[in-house]
DNA sequence: ATTGCCGGTTTGTCCGACAATCATACGATC
DNA sequence: GATCGTATGATTGTCGGACAAACCGGCAAT
């Protein structure tokens, strides 16, 4: 028996409401910062109940398309924050059994060209931001958690320095997934901190001198070091990445 | 006046419920496919109203963590689908004023190493899938929309052939953002189809012969061609990408 | 084996309600 | 005049209850 009729899907009202408002936002008919009508008003306009509107708002909220500004009750249109979107990607990858090796491989591919690009496009302010992150890392002698955070921040600053949001957002999930295992690695491998600090220093120099190829090389070495660190720490690269 | 007290945030119940269930899923205490209790039962367990539970479910639903299997009423735990997650990233990038150049630059960085990796890791089935996509593209003589779809599918197959979900998911938003402008380009530049078909053929050959460097080169050329196509079509690379 | 029917369960949607919070305006106090 | 307290209205978060539609399992009828 062949399937003659496609299963007709009747979407529930709350999804239609969410889709309608979502399209308005994506098409920029509703602009960033603009405040949404109250729930009662939305319910009146769509001809549905307030509960239905609320369910739709929860969906838009979780997509980051609307937000409540602190100290305000009305929802306002917002652009999804990078960290939020990246968290969604991280969670998806987590559940898809991504391994430490997978993440490391992606970093290998992504980061060196990213540093290379940053060496061309970075502004003075970018450089300052990157240098600050590197200094913060070197200053952290104690807690691994802080060190890991500074280390990730270093990457983030380089990502921003490319002035390409696509690249910045592409690396964010990797950093989120890397943090837990990186913390373990730094704790177990004494010399890791020094090696990371050195690579960061060289990278700052390369970025300052605007030498793309040098930046590429040092970033590649930086990432390769991570793998060595994992091996020295006895972390199996085939293990699944753990939740942040 | 200094800010002495951080603004204490009291989360509404619906978000706590969503967070609690979400953590269970991410920690794999709730496994994929497992069915959630009914809304009434959840309301009873959390000690809240059913409406509150429903708002929480809408959030989890939009994150792709729960799903209703077709023909079933109860929600079941699910892993976020790649396309869904990528759509979130695409929307975020759209609203962050990403330009065609930004996307193209990211492709330049990402795709050649991806093809290179695929040349090493592809299975026979992967190759067949890639070849099928290439054939589909060559067969499409008429509608640009179909051609664009085949073209994107070609990339997706290569992404899958790396057997690294991180890479596959990283490129998906780029493909989604590329599609609209790519359609315009193919329509306006007559020779584009032939050039794309050639690059795809060479790539298939390189992947079949397991020659990573050749695959890298042809993919780089393939992507460079896109830029040429855009210029020939008179598409300003500084324009924002448009919604799919 | 297919069809039709029945009762129990679950969802989608609605209605109405209330406390807590926020915005604003209006006085009161210093 | 500036600050504070308060009254008022709007809005959200949460609740309880309600009902139609759809699904599920079983059972009877054809």
Block residue for tokens 């299963």: A7
DSSP code, position A83:
H
Between vectors from CA A210 to CA A136 and to CA A226, what angle results, nearest 5°?
Answer: 50
Token digits of residue A137: 């890392």
Prediction pTM value: 0.89
In this structure, are residues A143 and A187 in contact, taking their beta carbons and an 8 Å threshold? no
Between vectors from CA B117 to CA B221 and to CA A100, what angle results, nearest 5°?
Answer: 135
Tell me the nearest-neighbour CA distance from A98 into chain B, angstroms: 7
Residues 52 to 81 of B: which have CB under 8 A from any A CB? 54-56, 58-59, 61-65, 70, 79-80
Residue A51 confidence class, pLDDT cut points 50, 70, 90:
very high
- Cα pseudo-dihedral A48, A53, A55, A56, rounded to 10: 110
Tell me the nearest-neighbour CA distance from B50 into chain A, angstroms: 11
Q: What is the pLDDT of residues A199-243, one digit of tens each?
A: 999 999 999 999 999 999 999 999 999 999 999 999 899 989 987
| Beta strand residue intervals within chain A, DSSP E | 66-68, 75-77
Question: Could you tell me where the DSSP H helices lie in chain B?
Answer: 13-26, 39-46, 50-62, 82-95, 100-121, 124-139, 144-161, 165-188, 192-208, 212-232
d(CA B50, CA B41): 9
d(CA A44, CA A16): 15
* Cβ pair A27:B117 closer than 8 A: no
Instruction: Give the highest mean pLDDT range of A74-83, A101-110, B2-11.
Output: A101-110
Residues A183-210, mean pLDDT to the nearest whole number: 92
Q: Among B95, B53, B79, which residue's Cα sits nearest to residue A67?
A: B95
Say yes or no to pLDDT of A8 above 70. no
In this structure, are residues A196 and A154 in contact, taking their beta carbons and an 8 Å threshold? no
Which of A75, A106, A115 should one mutate to test binding to chain B, selecting the residue with the greatest count of B CBs within 10 A? A106
Q: How many CB atoms lie within 10 A of CB B66?
A: 25
| Residue A190 contacts B, CB cutoff 8 Å | no
Q: How many CB atoms lie within 10 A of CB B193?
A: 17
Size of interface A-B (CB pairs under 8 A): 142
């Amino acid at each position: 028996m062949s399937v003659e009729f496609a299963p007709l899907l009747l979407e529930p009202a709350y999804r239609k409401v969410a889709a309608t408002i979502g399209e308005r936002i994506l098409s920029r008919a509703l602009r960033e910062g603009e405040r949404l009508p109250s729930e009662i008003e939305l319910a009146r306009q769509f001809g549905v109940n307030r509960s239905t509107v609320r369910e739709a708002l929860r969906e838009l909220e979780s997509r980051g398309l609307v937000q409540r500004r602190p100290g305000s009750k009305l929802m306002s249109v917002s652009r999804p924050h990078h960290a939020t979107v990246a968290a969604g990607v991280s969670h998806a990858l987590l559940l898809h059994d991504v391994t430490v090796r997978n993440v490391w491989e992606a970093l290998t591919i992504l980061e060196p060209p990213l540093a290379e690009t940053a060496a061309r496009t970075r502004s003075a302010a970018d450089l300052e931001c990157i240098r600050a992150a590197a200094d913060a890392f070197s200053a952290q002698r104690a807690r691994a958690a802080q060190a890991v955070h500074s280390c990730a921040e270093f990457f983030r600053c380089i990502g921003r320095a490319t002035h390409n949001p696509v690249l910045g957002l592409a690396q964010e999930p990797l950093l989120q997934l890397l943090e837990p295992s990186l913390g373990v690695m730094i704790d177990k491998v004494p010399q890791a901190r020094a090696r990371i600090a050195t690579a960061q220093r060289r990278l700052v120099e390369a970025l300052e001198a605007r030498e793309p190829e040098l930046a590429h090389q040092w970033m590649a070495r930086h990432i390769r070091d991570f793998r060595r660190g994992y091996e020295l720490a006895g972390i199996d690269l085939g293990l699944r990445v753990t939740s942040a």
